[in-house]
């Protein structure tokens, strides 16, 4: 095990980074604004999350994802409408329903496809990106380029939710409290169908789910298993999945991640169910990223 400890340390640090503080995807509006106030009180003026977090309009110009998934920004962002035929945007008070037009079009298509499945009357869309992308005051190490979105694993109700309901409604937890497997009382075949549909959609780079959800998908998938390669285990993600698209064609300053290793990944899950993975010790917080540490084209988007 000693040989693996550096890997575990790196993963534990990534867990702390991914958590990005106490905020969770399902936090209510009051919890979220309290977290934002607490973070703002400690940040230097040129912290990238402070500067990008206060932008309320998109950067003009052609749409462009700039930088990497955890160190980048978005020009020419567009907002996903709060309501569509097959989706509703959740937690609207956060102002994070922005994305590259490629992501918005992708979500509209995925919502329509999911709606054709009997048990998915539509999608509830969680955080996408800020109007100009970039780091966020709360939650999320990534979501910076406008090509990532959180999609709830709670089916859309058959009515339009009010803005207050969207800010408060809890999401279904699909994982057992001990984290070892899905909760069979909550997990449905439609959850697997939705994840399979998303993973098979062109343009997807990775999808992050809780390890227990990946374990269930590995168990339930039949002979057609190629799509499982893109489904990656990660902490949390028990009430939603994280969709990550590849860089849009022509966005030359957008840095793709290396593709996942070959295979369905189902034989590499054991570590995720060890005590150190299930209960990671948080490391010291990383120093806040400064605007000057982002690509120069990102700093230009927030210059006055
Ligand atoms: Zn996410």
CA of 240 to the centre of ligand 1 (A): 8
CA of 231 to the centre of ligand 1 (A): 13
What percentage of the chain has pLDDT greater than the value 90? 78
CA of 293 to the centre of ligand 1 (A): 22
The reported pLDDT for the residue numbered 304 is: 59
CA of 257 to the centre of ligand 1 (A): 16
The reported pLDDT for the residue numbered 63 is: 98
CA of 1 to the centre of ligand 1 (A): 30
The reported pLDDT for the residue numbered 23 is: 61
The reported pLDDT for the residue numbered 45 is: 85
Domains of the chain in sequence order: 2-301 (3.30.1380.10)
CA of 152 to the centre of ligand 1 (A): 10
The reported pLDDT for the residue numbered 118 is: 60
The reported pLDDT for the residue numbered 83 is: 97
How does DSSP classify residue 91? S
The reported pLDDT for the residue numbered 207 is: 98
Asked if residue 282 has pLDDT above 90, the reply is no
CA of 211 to the centre of ligand 1 (A): 15
pLDDT digits (tens, 9 = 90+) for 14-26: 443 443 445 677 7
User: Is residue 143 a contact partner of residue 129, using CB atoms and an 8 Å limit?
Assistant: yes
The reported pLDDT for the residue numbered 205 is: 98
What percentage of the chain has pLDDT greater than the value 70? 92
CA of 3 to the centre of ligand 1 (A): 31
Q: Report which of residues 299 and 29 the model is more confident about.
A: 299
CA of 43 to the centre of ligand 1 (A): 23
Q: What is the residue-wise DSSP string for 7-23?
A: HHHHHHHHHHHHHTSS-
The reported pLDDT for the residue numbered 189 is: 93
Mean predicted confidence (pLDDT) in 176-201: 96
Q: Report which of residues 105 and 31 the model is more confident about.
A: 105
The reported pLDDT for the residue numbered 121 is: 87
Measuring CA to CA, which residue among 86, 159, 93 is closest to residue 124? 86
CA of 21 to the centre of ligand 1 (A): 14
CA of 22 to the centre of ligand 1 (A): 15
User: Is residue 122 a contact partner of residue 156, using CB atoms and an 8 Å limit?
Assistant: yes
CA of 141 to the centre of ligand 1 (A): 8
pLDDT digits (tens, 9 = 90+) for 97-109: 999 999 999 999 9
Query: Across the chain, what does the average pLDDT equal?
Result: 90
pLDDT digits (tens, 9 = 90+) for 112-156: 999 887 678 899 999 999 999 999 988 888 999 999 999 999 999
CA of 139 to the centre of ligand 1 (A): 9
pLDDT digits (tens, 9 = 90+) for 190-227: 999 999 999 999 999 999 999 999 999 999 999 999 99
Beta strands in 70-203, from DSSP E residues, in sequence order: 71-75, 78-79, 83-84, 87-89, 98-99, 123-125, 148-152
CA of 129 to the centre of ligand 1 (A): 10
Q: How confident is the model at residue 35 (pLDDT cuts 50, 70, 90)?
A: confident
Asked if residue 8 has pLDDT above 80, the reply is no
Global pTM exceeds 0.85? yes
CA of 221 to the centre of ligand 1 (A): 24
Strand-pairing partners, residue 62, are: none
Q: How confident is the model at residue 182 (pLDDT cuts 50, 70, 90)?
A: very high
Q: Interhelix angle for 211-220 vs 189-199, to 10°?
A: 90
CA of 167 to the centre of ligand 1 (A): 17
| Sequence-separated (6 or more) residues with CB below 8 Å from residue 247 | 65, 145, 147, 254, 255, 256
Mean predicted confidence (pLDDT) in 273-299: 93
The reported pLDDT for the residue numbered 293 is: 96
CA of 90 to the centre of ligand 1 (A): 13
pLDDT digits (tens, 9 = 90+) for 108-121: 999 999 988 767 88
CA of 225 to the centre of ligand 1 (A): 24
């Amino acid at each position: 095990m000693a040989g693996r400890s550096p890997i575990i340390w790196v993963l534990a640090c990534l867990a702390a980074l991914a958590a990005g503080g106490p905020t969770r995807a399902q936090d209510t509006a009051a919890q979220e604004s309290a977290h934002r106030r607490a973070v703002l009180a400690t940040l230097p003026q040129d912290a990238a999350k402070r500067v990008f977090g206060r932008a309320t309009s998109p950067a003009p110009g052609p749409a462009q994802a700039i930088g990497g998934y955890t160190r980048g920004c978005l020009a020419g962002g567009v907002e996903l409408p709060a309501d569509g035929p097959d989706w509703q945007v959740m937690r609207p008070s956060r102002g994070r329903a922005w994305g590259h037009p490629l992501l918005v079009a992708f979500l509209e298509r995925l919502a329509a496809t999911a709606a054709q499945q009997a048990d998915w009357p539509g999608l509830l869309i969680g955080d996408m990106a800020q109007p100009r992308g970039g780091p966020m005051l709360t939650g999320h190490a990534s979501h910076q380029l406008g090509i990532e979105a959180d999609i709830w694993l709670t089916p859309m109700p058959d009515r339009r939710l009010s803005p207050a309901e969207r800010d408060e409604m809890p999401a279904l937890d699909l994982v057992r409290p001990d984290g070892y497997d899905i909760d069979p009382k909550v997990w449905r075949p439609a959850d697997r169908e939705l994840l399979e549909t998303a993973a098979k959609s062109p343009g997807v780079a990775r999808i992050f789910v809780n390890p227990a959800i990946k374990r269930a998908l590995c168990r339930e998938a039949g002979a057609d298993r190629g799509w499982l390669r893109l489904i990656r285990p990660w902490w949390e993600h028990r009430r939603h999945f994280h969709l990550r698209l590849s860089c849009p064609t022509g966005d030359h300053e957008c840095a793709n991640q290396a593709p996942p290793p070959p295979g369905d990944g189902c034989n590499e899950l054991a570590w995720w169910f060890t005590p150190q993975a299930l209960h990671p010790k948080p490391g010291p917080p990383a120093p806040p990223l400064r605007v000057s540490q982002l690509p120069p084209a990102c700093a230009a988007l927030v210059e006055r």
